[in-house]
Every structure is written in C-alpha cells, then in structure tokens.
Amino acid sequence: MTERQTHAGDQHPEEWRRDLNPAPEAGLNRGGRSLGADDTTRTAYEHKGIHRRVEGFTDDELRRIPIVPGGERLRQGAVYIDLQSHDCQEFKARGDMSAGPDNLYVAKDEVDYQLWNRLIGVDNPERTGDADDA
C-alpha cells in the first residue's frame, strides 16, 4: 500500500518537482482572512474616491467593507467585485488571480448581504434592509 500524498506536486519525482509544479500552493484555500486578525485591513472608507462612486453609504457602512490588499491572492471560487469598476459586476475568482495595485476588490463573504446587495446595485428594499416593517 502506498502512502497518501499530502502536498501538491508530491506525485512528481523530487528532481523535477520544482519544474513541473513551480507554485504548488497557488489557488488553494487554506482558511480565510480574519478581519480582526490584523489592524492593517483597509476598508472602502479609506479610499476617498470610492465615497463619490458609492453614494448613499454612511462612513460606518464604508468602514464595514474590507478591501483585499494589493498583491494578495484571491480565493479560488470566491465571489468578488472591484469597486474601481463602474458597474461592480460580480466575478468568481480563479486560483491564479490576485489583487493588483489599482484594484479595490471586495469579497462577498466578508460583507453583510444587505451592504453587498447595495454595492452591486440591487434596489429592492427587502434585499437592502430598507423595507418598511409594517
């Protein structure tokens, strides 16, 4: 019986492993980013150009929208929007994608659903938290 392989690329002979699989961890989701884990997490509030683009958001709401840091790899299969884009279309990340210096990516699973709906242009009051309780 053979031992189970535990790392990507382990199936390749040692001498060729680096050539055949130069980035063995690329695209793997190993836990998520924890918003409370570091105090350097930037938010939409800190990007003044965003204030004009996402009209109707309070400063407190903008502080609750974390921005993926430039250079950070996006999580494969996760849904994002780029606040730099005028239409804020959702996209699903591939394993080879990372945030560039000009991107203002927001991960869907790091924003509450009502804020997310407003960010992507949903105007149905029931989905944005603006519905009357009556």
Residue 134 predicted with pLDDT over 60 = no
Residues 4-53: tens digit of each pLDDT: 455 666 776 778 777 777 776 665 555 444 444 444 679 999 988 787 77
pTM for the whole thing? 0.67
The CA radius of gyration of the chain, in Å to the nearest whole number, is 19
Q: What does the pLDDT average to over 99-127?
A: 89
What pLDDT was estimated at residue 88? 81
Q: Which residue has the tokens 């918003």?
A: 35
What pLDDT was estimated at residue 128? 61
What pLDDT was estimated at residue 37? 40
Residues 98-108: tens digit of each pLDDT: 999 989 999 99
Dihedral sign from CA coordinates of 128, 81, 83, 98:
positive
Residues 55-76: tens digit of each pLDDT: 789 999 999 999 999 999 999 9
